[in-house]
Amino acid sequence: MAHVIVITGPSGVGKGTVIRLLRERMPSVRLSISATTRAPRPGEQDQVDYHFLGAEQFDALIAEGAFAEHARYAGQQYGTLRSELEESAGEGDVIVLEIELQGARQIRESMPAALQVFIAPPSFETLRERLVGRGTDSAQTIDERLAVAREELGAQDEFSEVIVNDRLGDAVDALELLVQGQLRGAVD
Ligand code: ADP
Ligand code: 5GP
């Protein structure tokens, strides 16, 4: 079985950035490509950043049982296809799922051995600044994401592993240590 690592935390906290830097250090770490009904952002590519699907296609896949987990977030559907997990089924393989809270809870139930890491911001205000600074979302979308973020931050006690993404390099160091520990079997 591959090592499944769930990375969760509010939108804009830096999950994508931390995972990208982790993969530069550990090229064997695979990232599961999620399916979503949201529209691609400028520069995002289908099959690379996401499997971009229509709402009907997404619902059909739910009905087929094709998802290991799925959730509605800010009015759109997101989910991890079982086929993404099956591609990395080898012993010693590491696959990272970058997913929101409801999906992380589903994986906690279905795959209790998976390492779950919550990435937290140094403060709520920093989170807002990062979402604004990223420049990918409208003011309305940012407000929606911040409203969801309040709930998500309230759930961080559910996670035994919490990394505060203040200095980026420190956050990547902390995640790398956790992943190495998981590979050695040192983390439950
Ligand atoms: P997420 O994937 O959690 O939505 P991103 O990785 O897209 O978040 O990061 C959101 C924004 O914050 C990006 O513009 C990114 O460059 C920036 N960022 C990420 N980590 C840090 C950090 N430690 N310090 C300052 N800015 C950061
Ligand atoms: P974004 O629209 O910014 O790419 O993602 C919005 C939120 O959806 C983020 O918190 C991201 O982690 C989450 N997300 C991305 N893919 C999945 C997935 O496959 N399942 C779930 N549950 N959440 C996902």
- For residue range 7-65, list pLDDT tens digits in order: 999 999 999 999 999 999 999 899 999 999 999 999 999 999 999 999 999 999 999 99
For atom 19 of ligand 1, which residue has the closest CA?
Answer: 14
Is residue 144 predicted with pLDDT exceeding 50?
A: yes
State the pLDDT at residue 176.
97
Question: Could you tell me if the CB of 11 is within 6 A of ligand 1?
Answer: yes
pTM of the model: 0.95
**8 membership: H or E segment, kind and range:** strand 3-8
pLDDT tens digits along 82-129: 999 987 667 678 999 999 999 999 999 999 999 999 999 999 999 999
For atom 5 of ligand 1, which residue has the closest CA?
Answer: 14
Q: Please choose, from the candidates 33, 41, 39, 105, the residue with its C-alpha nearest in 3D space to the C-alpha of residue 71.
A: 105
* Sign of the CA dihedral with 159 first, then 165, 166, and 168 last: positive
Q: Please choose, from the candidates 139, 179, 184, 181, the residue with its C-alpha nearest in 3D space to the C-alpha of residue 26.
A: 179
Q: Is 73 left (phi over 0), alpha (psi -120 to 50) or beta?
A: beta
How far does the centroid of ligand 1 lie from the alpha carbon of residue 168, in Å? 9
Question: Could you tell me if the CB of 133 is within 6 A of ligand 1?
Answer: yes
For atom 17 of ligand 2, which residue has the closest CA?
Answer: 99
How far does the centroid of ligand 1 lie from the alpha carbon of residue 134, in Å? 7
